[in-house]
């Protein structure tokens, strides 16, 4: 079922700016929030513009589903008003009530003062336009695998020649290793409508969040959650497709994590000294858990060179997304 076909390169794909920082030098210290007089900020657009200025002055880091201050500001304004981020434009010129305005200003100042990712402040993150509950028990979802499921595995791809499997409807079993909030398991259940999905995490508290999301999507009969250490959690089971976004930050990256990421579970980042301690275990064991026609889709961040040095003979197919280049590979069972 799995095809080792080269996907069409996407033009304009650029190196991901995973951690975009507004100019930090402007303020080492965050001053008390400026007073905003009544009537100064009237519309959603006014409040978004104000948030962009405040985030930039304060040197806030964006790495949690938004990659710049404009998207972050729109997310916060929309969440405070119970709007989907896609609805911002439609309501940009609408006025907010005094109560709504205060709520938005409070969120802006909380974001700056605590450096918590905005997703934790509103307990929500979007992936491929779908909302997921999040709190500090799980990393904020931002995996590139969501987009790749759509582009190369039969989701909403416009280009058939980019498909890496013959028939998404024929996929019977999927494993999501390192599931965190369960976001990728849930997206996989949509990409492969006839599949059951097993989702594994070492963290019991992360699985509690995943269970909430699975229930929110009414997928209890299709997505099963298991606690354990990688493949140990599933015994000798085999799958048509394994997806995984494991921890892959190396020791230097862990030491340099921005303040925002320090609010997230370290277990979700820590990939050991060279960053690929878990990736190695996954690559070494995946064949024993794949059907003969199966394949493994694995995100590894910036560790491509380290992985290629460690596995020079493996024909890894590197996949690009809108905001990443070569941070996820695909490999078929027969090539492992
Ligand atoms: C980068 S996060 C990915 C979460 C989610 N799949 C996503 O994309 O948002 C990695 C996850 O792996 C889990 N994890 C870490 N070590 C693990 C292990 N040895 N076995 C299973 N899960 C592990 C962490 O608890 C964390 O939830």
- Which pLDDT belongs to residue 295? 96
Q: With bands split at pLDDT 50, 70 and 90, how would you rate the model's confidence at 4?
A: very low
- Domain enclosing residue 256, as ranges: 144-335
298 lies in the same domain as 191 = yes
Comparing 36-50, 98-112, 215-229, 230-244, the range with the smallest average pLDDT is 36-50
Q: How far is CA 132 from CA 141, 224, 248, 332, in A?
A: 8, 17, 23, 30
Residue 293: inside a domain: yes
To test ligand 1's pocket by mutation, which of 180, 210, 300 has the most ligand atoms within 8 angstroms of CB?
A: 180
- Which pLDDT belongs to residue 319? 95
Residue 56: inside a domain: yes
Q: How far is CA 118 from CA 63, 78, 101, 144, 146, in A?
A: 10, 12, 17, 19, 20
Comparing 6-20, 130-144, 185-199, 292-306, the range with the smallest average pLDDT is 6-20
Q: How far is CA 32 from CA 27, 70, 113, 192, in A?
A: 12, 22, 9, 50
Residue 5: inside a domain: no
Decide: 244 in ligand 1 pocket, CB within 6 A.
no
CB proximity list for 139: less than 8 A, separation 6 or greater: 180, 181, 264, 265, 268, 269
User: Which of 122, 156, 180 is at the close of a domain?
Assistant: 122
In terms of Cβ atoms closer than 10 Å to its own Cβ (0-12, 13-18, 19+), residue 199 is buried
Task: Compare 39 and 138 and report the one with higher pLDDT.
Answer: 138
User: Which of 91, 122, 153 is at the close of a domain?
Assistant: 122
Residue 10: inside a domain: no
Count of alpha carbons within 13 angstroms of residue 223, beta-carbon side:
29
The structural domain count of the chain equals 2
* E runs forming strands in the chain: 20-21, 61-62, 125-127, 130-132, 173-177, 196-201, 223-227, 239-244, 290-299, 317-321, 324-332
To test ligand 1's pocket by mutation, which of 65, 143, 178 has the most ligand atoms within 8 angstroms of CB?
A: 178
Residue 15: inside a domain: no
190 lies in the same domain as 294 = yes
Measured from the Cα of 281, ligand 1's closest atom is 19
| Site of tokens 């003969």 | 292
The tokens describing 303, both together, are: 């560790």
CB proximity list for 291: less than 8 A, separation 6 or greater: 1, 173, 238, 239, 240, 333
Predicted TM-score (pTM) of this structure? 0.88
44 lies in the same domain as 77 = yes
User: Which of 122, 157, 190 is at the close of a domain?
Assistant: 122
Q: How far is CA 110 from CA 58, 213, 285, 329, in A?
A: 12, 25, 44, 37
Distance (Å, whole) CA 258 – CA 179: 23
Decide: 180 in ligand 1 pocket, CB within 6 A.
yes
Q: With bands split at pLDDT 50, 70 and 90, how would you rate the model's confidence at 26?
A: very low
275 lies in the same domain as 154 = yes
Decide: 141 in ligand 1 pocket, CB within 6 A.
yes
267 lies in the same domain as 321 = yes
320 lies in the same domain as 263 = yes
227 lies in the same domain as 310 = yes
Distance (Å, whole) CA 225 – CA 181: 11
189 lies in the same domain as 331 = yes
Q: What is the pLDDT of residues 51-110, one digit of tens each?
A: 999 999 988 888 777 778 999 999 999 999 999 999 999 999 999 999 999 999 999 999
CA of 11 to the centre of ligand 1 (A): 31
103 lies in the same domain as 165 = no
Residue 4: inside a domain: no
114 lies in the same domain as 211 = no
117 lies in the same domain as 148 = no
The tokens describing 287, both together, are: 């064949």
Q: Closest residue (by CA) to atom 18 of ligand 1?
A: 229
Q: With bands split at pLDDT 50, 70 and 90, how would you rate the model's confidence at 155?
A: low
* E runs forming strands in 265-305: 290-299
Average pLDDT, the chain: 88
Helix (H, G, I), strand (E, B) or coil at 61: strand
Count of alpha carbons within 13 angstroms of residue 59, beta-carbon side:
11
CA of 277 to the centre of ligand 1 (A): 13
User: CATH number for the domain including 166?
Assistant: 3.40.50.150
Residue 13: inside a domain: no
172 lies in the same domain as 314 = yes
Residue 7: inside a domain: no
In terms of Cβ atoms closer than 10 Å to its own Cβ (0-12, 13-18, 19+), residue 9 is exposed
CB proximity list for 89: less than 8 A, separation 6 or greater: none
Comparing 23-27, 112-116, 177-181, 238-242, the range with the smallest average pLDDT is 23-27
Tell me what the mean pLDDT of segment 297-318 comes to. Answer: 96
User: CATH number for the domain including 74?
Assistant: 1.10.8
CA of 35 to the centre of ligand 1 (A): 42
Decide: 243 in ligand 1 pocket, CB within 6 A.
no
Decide: 267 in ligand 1 pocket, CB within 6 A.
yes
């Amino acid at each position: 079922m799995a095809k080792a076909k080269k996907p069409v390169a996407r033009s304009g794909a650029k190196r991901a700016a995973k951690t975009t920082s507004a100019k930090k030098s402007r303020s080492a210290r965050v001053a008390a929030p400026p007073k905003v007089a009544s009537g100064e900020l009237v519309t959603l657009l006014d409040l978004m513009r104000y948030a962009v200025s405040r985030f930039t002055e304060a040197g806030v880091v964006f790495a949690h589903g938004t990659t710049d201050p404009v998207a972050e500001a729109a997310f916060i304004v929309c969440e405070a008003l119970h709007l989907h981020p896609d609805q911002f434009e439609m309501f940009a010129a609408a006025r907010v009530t005094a109560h709504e305005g205060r709520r938005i200003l409070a969120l802006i100042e909380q974001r700056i003062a605590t450096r918590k990712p905005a997703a934790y402040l509103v307990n929500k993150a979007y992936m491929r336009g779908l909302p997921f509950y999040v709190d500090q028990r799980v990393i904020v979802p931002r995996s590139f695998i969501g987009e790749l499921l759509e582009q190369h595995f039969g989701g909403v791809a416009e280009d058939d020649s980019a498909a890496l499997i013959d028939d998404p409807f024929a996929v019977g079993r999927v494993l999501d290793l390192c599931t965190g909030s369960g976001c990728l398991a849930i997206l996989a259940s949509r990409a492969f409508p006839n599949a059951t999905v097993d989702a594994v995490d070492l963290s019991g508290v992360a699985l509690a969040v995943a269970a909430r999301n699975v229930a929110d999507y009414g997928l209890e009969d299709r997505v099963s959650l298991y606690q354990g250490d990688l493949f140990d959690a599933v015994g000798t089971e085999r799958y048509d497709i394994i997806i995984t976004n494991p921890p892959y930050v190396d020791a230097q990256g862990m030491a340099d994590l921005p303040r925002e990421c320090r609010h997230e579970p370290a277990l979700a980042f820590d990939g050991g000294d060279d960053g690929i301690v878990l990736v190695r275990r996954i690559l070494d064991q995946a064949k024993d858990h794949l059907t003969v026609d199966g394949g493994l889709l694995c995100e590894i961040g910036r560790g491509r060179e380290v992985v290629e040095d460690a596995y020079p003979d493996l024909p890894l197919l590197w996949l690009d997304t809108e905001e990443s280049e070569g941070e996820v590979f695909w490999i078929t069972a027969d090539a492992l």
